[in-house]
C-alpha cells in the first residue's frame, strides 16, 4: 500500500510544546528509527512526556502516529481513515476523522463509525534507545 522506497524521510520539527510534534527519523532499509528521547520535552522547568508523535514520510501522503503505551510498548498507526481515506487528526488518546467523524483509539481500534475497520498498524521493536517501525 505504501510506496516508501529508499528515499530519506523528512524531518519536520514543530514547536516543542505542540501536541503535533513531528519526529526526526532515519530510514534503515524497511525500518524507521525514532529515538525514545523524541517523546520527552521540557515545559518550563518540568520534563514531560508526549503521548504520541507523528512521523511524516516523503513517499506517503499519510503520516504515522506513534503512540507510547509504556517504555516497551508502542503503537504505530497509519493516519488513513478506513472509511473513505481521509487523513486522521490526532486528538490525545484517540484519532478522529475530519470527513465523517469516525474515531479510533490509540491502538487503532474503531470507536465510532462510519468506519468499520481498524487502522493499519505497523509492527514496532524497541531497544534501549530507539523505537523501530517495520514498514
Ligand atoms: S473518510 Fe473518515 S469517516 Fe469517512
Question: What's the confidence (pLDDT) of residue 60?
Answer: 79
CATH fold for domain 79-119: Rieske Iron-sulfur Protein (2.102.10)
Q: What is the pLDDT of residue 28?
A: 65
Report the pLDDT value the prediction gives residue 1, as an integer from 0 to 100.
Answer: 43
- The residue whose CA has the least distance to atom 3 of ligand 1 is 100
CB atoms under 10 Å from CB of 17, counted, come to 11
Residue 94 pLDDT: 96
Cα(43) to centroid of ligand 1, in Å?
Answer: 35
Alpha-carbon span 65 to 71, nearest angstrom: 16
- What pLDDT is recorded for position 105? 98
Whole-prediction pTM value?
A: 0.83
- Say how many Å lie between the CA of residue 98 and the centre of ligand 1: 7
Q: What is residue 104's predicted lDDT score, i.e. its pLDDT?
A: 98
pLDDT at 12: 35
Check residue 73 and give its pLDDT. 96
Domain-wise residue ranges, the chain: 14-59+69-77+120-135, 79-119
Give the atom of ligand 1 at the shortest distance from the alpha carbon of 115.
3
Q: What residues are in contact with ligand 1 under a 6 Å CB criterion?
A: 81, 83-86, 97, 99-102, 114-115
Which residue's CA is minimally distant from atom 1 of ligand 1? 84
Extract the C-alpha cell encoding 17.
510544546
Q: Separation of 102 CA from ligand 1 center, angstroms?
A: 6
Rounded to an integer, what distance in angstroms lies between the CA atom of residue 15 and that of residue 7?
A: 25
pLDDT at 56: 85
pLDDT < 70 positions in the chain = 1-20, 24, 26-29
Which atom of ligand 1 lies nearest, measured to the CA of 113?
3
**Residue 14 has what pLDDT?**
34
Amino acid at each position: 500500500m505504501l510506496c516508501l522506497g529508499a528515499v530519506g524521510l523528512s524531518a519536520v520539527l514543530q514547536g516543542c510544546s505542540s501536541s503535533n510534534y513531528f519526529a526526526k527519523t532515519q530510514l534503515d532499509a524497511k525500518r524507521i528509527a525514532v529515538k525514545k528521547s523524541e517523546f520527552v520535552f521540557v515545559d518550563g522547568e518540568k520534563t514531560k512526556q508526549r503521548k504520541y508523535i507523528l512521523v511524516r514520510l516523503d513517499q506517503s501522503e499519510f503520516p504515522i502516529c506513534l503512540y507510547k503505551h509504556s517504555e516497551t510498548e508502542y503503537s504505530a498507526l497509519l493516519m488513513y481513515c478506513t472509511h473513505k481515506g481521509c487523513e486522521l487528526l490526532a486528538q490525545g488518546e484517540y484519532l478522529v476523522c475530519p470527513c465523517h467523524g469516525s474515531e479510533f483509539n490509540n491502538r487503532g481500534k474503531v470507536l465510532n463509525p462510519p468506519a468499520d475497520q481498524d487502522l493499519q498498524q505497523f509492527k514496532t521493536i524497541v531497544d534501549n534507545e530507539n523505537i523501530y517501525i517495520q514498514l
